[in-house]
């Protein structure tokens, strides 16, 4: 069973976005020259409220062969916008320097777990360069960037361990296909929608979530008393960037008129 790690806490998180402190500047967190230090310039922490539930995730600004995507210039996970009521609600963004502003949610595609946003230019903005996910090799080292106020400067990293994975996303009620996984140890809250990077800084995927198992607690004489979802293994699922770009074009075309 597949769930975003957000599912474990969404029901108890109330709208308190305004009280969150800016996450630390990337320059203070990453070694000079590190791939994620540069990638942070195109990274955005996004947040929004849907009813009483607030949500936080990741997004990033991309440059598609130097060509504008019209209404959309940023990628995230579809479930981020879905949980934030991004189609009707307000989505806020925060940069690596702590600047905050509103971004437009262009749309999302549940079947690929890809969402598209439009971000205005901001000081220090540097769109991320894209790689070719078809060229990825098993064992290749990958980085994930996740720098939210919930998890400052989280950098999951590890080798690519599987391709062409199919799993069911419980909350979106869709079966995702063609996923890849890398060994990132864990997928903290706020990572979904963040970029997956090669060692030369090219984006090759969009982080989606983790595989989980259902754990049931039993008590003598009472039977099952509670259940919860727990991460299964160390894998982090991501949508290959080639798949994400195809979805991005469909979303922009659908919502661009």
- pLDDT at position 110 over 50: yes
Instruction: Identify the three-state secondary structure at position 252.
Output: helix
pLDDT tens digits, one per residue of 219-238: 666 665 565 454 555 688 99
Mean pLDDT value of segment 68-73 = 69
The Cα–Cα gap between 255 and 118 comes to 12
Cα angle: 118, vertex 119, 125; to 5 degrees: 140
Mean pLDDT value of segment 139-161 = 77
Cα angle: 204, vertex 77, 130; to 5 degrees: 20
Mean pLDDT value of segment 26-47 = 70
- pLDDT of res. 187: 55
The predicted model scores a pTM of 0.80
- pLDDT at position 71 over 60: yes
- pLDDT at position 136 over 90: yes
Mean pLDDT value of segment 146-165 = 76
- pLDDT at position 25 over 60: no
Cα 121 from chain centroid (whole Å):
20
- pLDDT of res. 144: 87
- pLDDT of res. 18: 33
* Confidence class for position 96, pLDDT limits 50, 70, 90: confident
Taking a C-beta distance cutoff of 8 angstroms, is the pair 77, 248 a contact? no
Per the structure block, which two tokens stand in for 128? 């991320």
The Cα–Cα gap between 225 and 215 comes to 11
More confident residue, 43 or 64: 43
The Cα–Cα gap between 253 and 247 comes to 10
- pLDDT of res. 13: 35
- pLDDT at position 5 over 90: no
* Confidence class for position 218, pLDDT limits 50, 70, 90: low
The Cα–Cα gap between 240 and 160 comes to 12
pLDDT > 70 in the chain, percent: 68
- pLDDT of res. 196: 94
């Amino acid at each position: 069973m597949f769930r975003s790690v957000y599912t474990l806490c969404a029901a108890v998180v109330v709208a308190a976005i305004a009280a969150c402190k800016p996450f630390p500047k990337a320059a203070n967190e990453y070694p000079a020259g590190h791939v994620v230090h540069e990638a942070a310039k195109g990274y955005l922490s996004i947040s929004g409220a849907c009813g009483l539930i607030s949500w936080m995730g990741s997004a990033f600004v991309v440059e598609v062969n130097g060509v504008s995507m019209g209404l959309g210039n940023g990628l995230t996970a579809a479930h981020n916008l879905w949980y934030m009521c991004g189609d009707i609600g307000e989505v806020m963004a925060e940069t690596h320097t702590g600047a905050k502003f509103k971004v437009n949610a262009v749309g999302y595609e549940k079947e690929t777990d890809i969402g598209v946003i439009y971000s205005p230019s901001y000081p220090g903005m540097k769109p991320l360069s894209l790689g070719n996910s078809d060229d990825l090799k098993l064992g290749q080292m990958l980085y994930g960037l996740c720098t939210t106020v919930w998890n400052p400067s989280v950098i999951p990293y590890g080798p690519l361990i599987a391709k062409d994975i199919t799993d069911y996303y419980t909350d979106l009620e869709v079966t995702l296909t063609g996923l890849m996984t890398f060994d990132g140890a864990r997928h903290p809250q706020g990572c979904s929608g963040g970029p997956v990077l090669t060692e030369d800084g090219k984006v090759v995927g969009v982080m989606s979530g983790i595989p989980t198992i259902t754990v049931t607690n039993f008590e003598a004489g009472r039977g099952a008393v509670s259940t919860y979802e727990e991460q299964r293994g160390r894998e982090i699922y991501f949508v290959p960037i080639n798949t994400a770009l195809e979805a991005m074009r469909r979303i922009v075309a659908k919502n661009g008129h």
